[in-house]
């Protein structure tokens, strides 16, 4: 059987990224799909940029100023006609065989929920290549998002996630969370009994943030969002999610040991140097250039410390201070 797909793309003031994604969708070898752009931009930049695609793609454009991420996806889903809803981030590029790989897999394994990994494209900036390494490396917790199967139940992320339309409707779509809304949806679909699969050949090129500071703010919100998921579902924090927090505490303890126990500090410093050499060597092997390897090392530390500090701060806010406020997406990461 050949399925139909509704590709739903939320965006906020990113006309260049949307254009790159639509360019890549024009080249899909499997053509039985529609594209739904849900735009929350303050102006018409995205609308103006996609005009030239109206006659090249089966394209639906939805607009509401300052529309939230969950609301954008839900609105797109309400207008969809495909068997499957495929959620892509606007900063992604699809290889030509993306939908073909999805359809071939689903013909043999008709699951209700699927996801794919992300990869690095040669057109990425040096910082984007470094961030891509950090987010997919087996030597950081990013390894669970790459080609490695998730430790436990695989949970698709909305940069590359597909859901049978009937299943999406059954669980009432995205819940309205601003951060980790995709994991929340994956968990609710799993609790409802729907089957999930990782399609390793259905990868996308995911650009992510353009600066290390924005990357820090993003990963910090991810760590905070994991606590929100824990309070909502109860089983959302596993050992792998605690590792960045433990890494942060380890570094704090190591720095303090310089004043209190210099010999322990030497052991701490040696361990950090060894870990850094491991990351650098692996990154150099993959990225080929020393400058990119150094950036990848920096991005890996930024990711671990950002996620860890976010989780620790929100554990304190939610569990000790008694706050009921869920995590907001950092404004700077929308730029």
pLDDT digits (tens, 9 = 90+) for 43-81: 889 999 999 998 899 999 999 998 888 999 999 999 999
Report which DSSP code applies to 328: P
Q: How confident is the model at residue 333 (pLDDT cuts 50, 70, 90)?
A: low
Q: What is the number of other CB atoms lying within 10 angstroms of the CB of residue 206?
A: 25
Q: In this predicted model, what pLDDT tens digit does every residue of 193-240 receive, in sequence order?
A: 999 999 999 999 998 777 999 999 999 999 999 999 999 998 888 888
Coil vs helix vs strand at 310? helix
**How high does pLDDT run on average in the chain?**
91
Percent of the chain exceeding pLDDT 90 equals 77
pLDDT at 325 over 50: yes
Q: Could you give all domains of the chain from N- to C-terminal order, each with its CATH number?
A: 5-208 (3.90.550.10), 218-334 (no CATH)
* Mean pLDDT calculated for residue range 114-136: 92
* Residue ranges of E strands in the chain: 5-11, 33-39, 59-63, 84-88, 92-93, 113-115, 118-119, 160-164, 196-198, 204-206
* Mean pLDDT calculated for residue range 305-334: 88
pLDDT of residue 334: 58
């Amino acid at each position: 059987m050949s399925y139909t797909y509704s590709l739903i793309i939320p965006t906020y003031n990113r006309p260049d990224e949307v254009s790159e994604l639509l360019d890549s969708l024009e080249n899909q070898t499997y053509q039985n799909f529609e594209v739904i752009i849900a735009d929350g931009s303050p102006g018409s930049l995205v609308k103006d940029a996609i005009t030239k695609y109206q006659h090249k793609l089966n394209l639906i454009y939805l607009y509401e100023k300052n529309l939230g991420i969950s609301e954008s996806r839900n609105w797109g889903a309400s207008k969809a006609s495909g068997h499957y809803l495929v959620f892509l981030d606007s900063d992604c590029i699809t290889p030509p065989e993306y939908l073909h790989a999805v359809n071939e897999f689903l013909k043999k394994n008709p699951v209700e929920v699927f996801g794919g990994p992300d990869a690095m494209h040669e057109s990425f900036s040096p910082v984007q290549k470094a961030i891509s390494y950090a987010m997919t490396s087996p030597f950081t917790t990013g390894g669970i998002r790459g080609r490695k199967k998730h430790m436990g139940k695989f949970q698709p992320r909305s940069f590359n996630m597909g859901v049978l339309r009937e299943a999406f409707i059954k669980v009432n779509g995205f819940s309205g969370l601003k951060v980790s809304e995709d994991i929340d949806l994956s968990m609710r679909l799993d609790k409802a009994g729907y089957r999930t699969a990782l399609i390793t050949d259905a990868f996308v090129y995911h650009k992510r943030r353009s600066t290390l500071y924005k990357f820090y703010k993003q990963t910090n919100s991810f760590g905070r969002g994991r606590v929100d998921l824990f309070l909502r579902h109860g089983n959302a924090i596993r050992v792998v999610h605690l590792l960045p927090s433990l890494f942060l505490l380890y570094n704090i303890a190591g720095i303090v040991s310089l004043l209190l126990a210099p010999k322990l500090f030497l052991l701490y410093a040696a361990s950090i140097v060894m870990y850094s050499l491991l990351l650098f060597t692996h990154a150099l092997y993959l990225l080929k250039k020393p400058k990119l390897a150094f950036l990848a090392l920096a991005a890996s530390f930024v990711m671990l410390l950002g996620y860890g500090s976010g989780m620790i701060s929100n554990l304190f806010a939610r569990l000790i201070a008694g706050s009921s406020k869920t995590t907001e997406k950092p404004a700077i990461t929308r730029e």
